[in-house]
């Protein structure tokens, strides 16, 4: 595993909810990242994030790590959940809220 892949693995495994996005939660820099942040904020979920615009190695490495071509990418308990479209579908069905109901350890 490359250094970039190890760095990504460490990020997603050290926070119960982690979002790779363009921009920051306070200033998303694309509509999809804004949508992802809005969903998590609406569910009142604390999360960590990484701005892929700050690091091109992470930006390309995250696509390989998850085998998912787009950003944002949501991870819950180290497991890839999906991008903003999947997040929206899961949010609307109530599935995302159920997935986020866990004890933080």
User: In the structure encoding, which two tokens stand for residue 30, read together?
Assistant: 């694309």
Pairing assessment for the beta strands 17-21 and 48-51 based on DSSP bridges: parallel
Taken in order 51, 9, 90, 44, the sign of the CA dihedral is negative
> What is the value of pTM for the model shown?
0.93
3-class DSSP state of 96: helix
Q: Which residues contact 18 (CB under 8 A, 6 or more apart)?
A: 11, 12, 47, 48, 49, 50, 74, 75
The pLDDT tens digits along the chain (105 residues) read: 789 999 999 999 999 999 999 999 999 999 999 999 999 999 999 999 999 999 999 999 999 999 999 999 999 999 999 999 999 999 999 999 999 886 544
Q: Domains in the chain and their CATH numbers?
A: 3-99 (3.40.30.10)
Q: What does the pLDDT look like over 3-14, one tens digit per residue?
A: 999 999 999 999
């Amino acid at each position: 595993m490359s250094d970039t892949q190890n760095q990504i693995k460490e990020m997603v495994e050290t926070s119960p909810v982690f979002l790779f996005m363009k921009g920051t939660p306070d200033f998303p820099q694309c509509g999809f990242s804004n949508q992802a942040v809005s969903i998590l904020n609406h569910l009142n979920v604390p999360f960590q994030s990484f701005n892929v615009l700050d690091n091109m190695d992470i930006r390309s490495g995250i696509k390989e790590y998850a085998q998912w071509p787009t950003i944002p990418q949501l991870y819950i308990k180290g497991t890839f959940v999906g991008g903003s479209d999947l997040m929206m579908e899961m949010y609307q069905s109530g599935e995302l809220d159920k997935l986020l109901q866990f004890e933080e350890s």
